[in-house]
């Protein structure tokens, strides 16, 4: 086994990936947690976000082609450039009222984010060995939510005196632009899969470079496989609430309340994901038990929360409140609903990443599953922000969310309850890895194997 280097260790790779997640999507989330990117009204920004997620979904799903072509590191680097462009567009709109740049920036962000999320998902799931995926996933999500935490603190510090409705300070967006631009050079620090070193000495599996046609065939096979196809509805609905949440904050809360929401939701989301990640990684329970219990807890809690959200929103339909501030009557009830929605949504996201991580190995296989996860859920967000770009009733938006979410749980439960604890076999003498990180075609018939516990779904 090669001499272990901290810079090449999986921990170092997760820290690098986490910092990038903090700077790019973490701050993007902080901005959107303000409600409509801090704008006066949600409709234009919701339309921009809808475009972001439409393109993001397409490029997430197609990202295995790019990863197989240029490698996971270069795909990640390309995926970091669009976030600051979109923040710059929001700044222009906030300060000068420029509208066309919002849509152009959204297009750049959508393409870039599509490449980023699939590459990032493949990294955080394929680099660690199976026994440590839960804790490393929690570390990565903790970094990502810390981006929202830092962004939320900036939001709160710059807008704490804004006790009325309206736009947030444009200085907030300037800070975000500078910080998000730093993600691009930081991505160059990541190690290629063949250079990264696991603590147990096992190599990271990387598929041989193949044609686009072959990759598309494998992608289609993955999408229609029994283990994935029943999960596609819950992929679509798990982030469908975000368009509603953005509109909710913009319509009913003061500027500083929106800043406080951005800050507190990051804290609660980070703590919840870390604790949940520890449970998902527990060696005391079988993988099957953790998958089933994690589903019941995260998705059950999310379902119950929607009942509360509907009740709160129905009250707003009867009598729309003035912009709710910290000392407004009814603030705690309405504000708490938003914080819980964001927190539980992060738990569901954490769980789905863990779930797809148990269904495969290697950068390419996991780029397909995570690409489908992020791609399909991005299309859900596209539809959600599309609804939010109109003046459609927020209450009926909650009804749509509840119906779609509840229906999606049925096929997801069917898929999850087919999980069995099985044993995969990985060759002891793994194929040689060339300087580009691509494995050479095997020539031997079948090598001896070592056991690696993981979960598989019955076909």
What's the whole-number mean pLDDT along residues 442-449? 38
Q: Is the predicted pLDDT of residue 412 greater than 50, yes or no?
A: yes
Give the model confidence (pLDDT) of 211-260 as tens digits. 888 888 888 988 888 888 999 999 999 989 888 888 888 888 887 888 78
Q: Is the predicted pLDDT of residue 432 greater than 80, yes or no?
A: no
Give the model confidence (pLDDT) of 141-150 as tens digits. 778 777 777 7
**From CA 106, how far away is CA 94, in angstroms rounded?**
15
pLDDT confidence bin for 195, thresholds 50/70/90 = confident
Cβ distance 72 to 122 under 8 Å? yes
Q: Give the pair of three-digit tokens for residue 10.
A: 């999986």
Which residues fall within 8 angstroms of residue 144, CB to CB, at 6 or more apart? 18, 21, 22, 25, 26, 29
pLDDT confidence bin for 439, thresholds 50/70/90 = very low
pLDDT confidence bin for 291, thresholds 50/70/90 = very high
Predicted pLDDT of residue 50? 83
Give whole-number Cα distances, 453 to 127, 129, 180, 420, in Å: 16, 10, 38, 11
Give the model confidence (pLDDT) of 142-178 as tens digits. 787 777 777 777 767 766 676 555 556 677 788 888 9
**From CA 375, how far away is CA 430, in angstroms rounded?**
31
What's the whole-number mean pLDDT along residues 123-132? 78
Predicted pLDDT of residue 90? 85
What's the whole-number mean pLDDT along residues 260-269? 83
**From CA 83, how far away is CA 439, in angstroms rounded?**
33
Q: Is the predicted pLDDT of residue 420 greater than 80, yes or no?
A: no
Q: Give the pair of three-digit tokens for residue 77.
A: 């680097």
Q: Is the predicted pLDDT of residue 91 greater than 80, yes or no?
A: yes
What's the whole-number mean pLDDT along residues 340-345? 92
Which one has a higher pLDDT value, 99 or 112?
A: 112
Q: Does the model's pTM come out above 0.75?
A: no
**DSSP output for 198-226:** -TT-PPPP-PPP--HHHHHHHHHHHHHSH
**From CA 170, how far away is CA 98, in angstroms rounded?**
13
Q: Give the pair of three-digit tokens for residue 100.
A: 């066309």
Q: Is the predicted pLDDT of residue 210 greater than 50, yes or no?
A: yes
Q: Is the predicted pLDDT of residue 39 greater than 60, yes or no?
A: no
Predicted pLDDT of residue 402? 93
Predicted pLDDT of residue 452? 36
Q: Is the predicted pLDDT of residue 349 greater than 80, yes or no?
A: yes
Q: Which residues of 414-432 are buried (b: 16+ CB within 10 A; e: fewer)?
A: ebbeebeeeeeeeeeeebe
What's the whole-number mean pLDDT along residues 421-426? 42
- Mean pLDDT for the chain overall: 79
CA-based nearest residue to 147, from 114, 175, 124, 122: 175
Q: Is the predicted pLDDT of residue 435 greater than 60, yes or no?
A: no
Predicted pLDDT of residue 197? 81
């Amino acid at each position: 086994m090669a001499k272990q280097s901290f810079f090449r260790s999986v921990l170092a790779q997760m820290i690098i990936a986490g910092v990038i997640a903090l700077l790019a999507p973490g701050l993007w989330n902080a901005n959107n947690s303000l409600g409509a990117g801090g704008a006066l009204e949600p409709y234009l920004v919701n339309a921009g976000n809808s475009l972001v997620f439409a393109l993001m979904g397409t490029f997430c799903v197609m990202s295995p082609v790019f990863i197989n072509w240029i490698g996971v590191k270069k795909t990640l680097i390309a995926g970091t450039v669009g976030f600051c462009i979109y923040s710059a567009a929001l700044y222009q709109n906030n300060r000068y009222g420029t509208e066309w740049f919002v849509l152009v920036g959204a297009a750049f962000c959508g393409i870039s984010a599509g490449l980023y999320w699939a590459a990032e998902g493949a990294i955080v799931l394929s680099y660690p060995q199976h026994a440590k995926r839960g804790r490393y996933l929690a570390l990565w999500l903790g970094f990502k939510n810390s981006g929202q935490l830092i962004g939320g603190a900036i939001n709160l510090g710059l807008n704490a005196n804004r006790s009325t409705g309206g736009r947030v300070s444009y200085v907030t967006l300037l800070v975000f632009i500078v910080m998000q631009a730093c993600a691009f050079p930081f991505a160059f620090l990541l190690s290629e899969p063949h250079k990264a070193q696991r603590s147990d000495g096992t190599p990271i599996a990387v598929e041989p470079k193949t044609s686009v046609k072959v990759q598309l065939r494998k992608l289609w096979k993955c999408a229609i496989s029994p283990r994935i196809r029943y999960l596609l509805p819950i992929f679509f609905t798990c982030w469908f609430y975000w368009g509603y949440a953005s509109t909710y904050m913009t319509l009913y809360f003061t500027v500083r309340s929106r800043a406080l929401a951005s800050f507190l939701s990051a804290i609660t989301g980070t703590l919840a994901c870390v604790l949940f990640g520890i449970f998902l990684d527990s060696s005391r329970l079988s993988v099957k038990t953790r998958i089933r219990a994690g589903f019941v807890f995260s998705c059950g809690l999310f379902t119950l929360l929607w009942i509360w959200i509907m009740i709160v929103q129905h009250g707003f339909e009867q009598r729309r409140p003035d912009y709710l501030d910290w000392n407004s009557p009814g603030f705690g009830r309405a504000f708490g609903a938003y914080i819980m929605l964001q927190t539980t949504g992060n738990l569901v996201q954490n769980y789905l990443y863990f779930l797809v991580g148990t269904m495969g190995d290697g950068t390419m296989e996991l780029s397909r599953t995570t690409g489908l996860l992020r791609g399909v859920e991005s299309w859900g967000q596209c539809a959600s922000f599309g609804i939010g770009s109109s003046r459609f009733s927020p209450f009926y938006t909650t009804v749509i969310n509840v119906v779609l979410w509840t229906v999606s749980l049925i096929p997801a439960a069917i898929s999850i309850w087919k999980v069995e604890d099985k044993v995969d076999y990985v060759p002891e003498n793994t194929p040689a890895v060339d300087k580009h990180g691509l494995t050479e075609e095997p020539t031997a018939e079948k090598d001896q194997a070592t056991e690696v516990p993981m979960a598989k779904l019955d076909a």
